[in-house]
Amino acid sequence: MKGQVREYGEKTKNIVSLMRGRELRKNISDGIKKFRVHHLQNISPKKVKLMKQELEKLNKQLLLSKIHKKSVGKKQFIQVQQRLHQRKKEIEDQIKKSRSGS
């Protein structure tokens, strides 16, 4: 019994999950070829919403950091600015990916 090949209708769930696994593996290999996209392939709308909120926060932080530039010191300010911009770009990329993925 163990070695028997099952009919398609018998265990559709398993077959579907196998197909999903295959797709995921394909996505992973594609993602690694491009850059770190592979784990962003299937983002839920809720997560997109959270990322958009984080984007808004980052935009506010960027504005604030521009205002407080004099009080922080130029070198540190530039570092913070770069970090914020990088994170902002990452989130925007993730949102784009989630749109194209679904």
Q: Are residues 49 and 78 in the same domain?
A: yes
The domain in which residue 77 lies consists of 43-102
Q: Are residues 101 and 60 in the same domain?
A: yes
Q: Are 30 and 66 contained in the same domain?
A: no
CB 73 within 8 A of CB 33: no
Confidence of residue 2 (pLDDT cuts 50, 70, 90): very low
Q: How many CB atoms lie within 10 A of CB 50?
A: 13
22 HSE (CA, 13 A, CB side):
6
Query: Do 10 and 53 belong together in one domain?
Result: no
Please check whether residues 54 and 100 belong to one and the same domain. yes
60 shares a domain with 95: yes
Type of residue numbered 11 = K
pLDDT digits (tens, 9 = 90+) for 5-37: 544 444 445 555 555 555 655 655 555 554 344
pTM (2 d.p.) = 0.33
36-87 residue pLDDT tens: 443 445 556 677 677 777 777 777 776 766 666 556 566 666 777 777 778 7
The whole-number pLDDT of residue 11 equals: 47
In this structure, the answer to whether residues 60 and 34 fall within a common structural domain is no
Are residues 72 and 34 part of one domain? Answer: no
Query: What is the Cα–Cα distance from 59 to 77, expressed in whole angstroms?
Result: 15
The pLDDT value given to residue 87: 78
The total of structural domains in the chain comes to 2
Q: In this structure, are 22 and 55 located in the same domain?
A: no
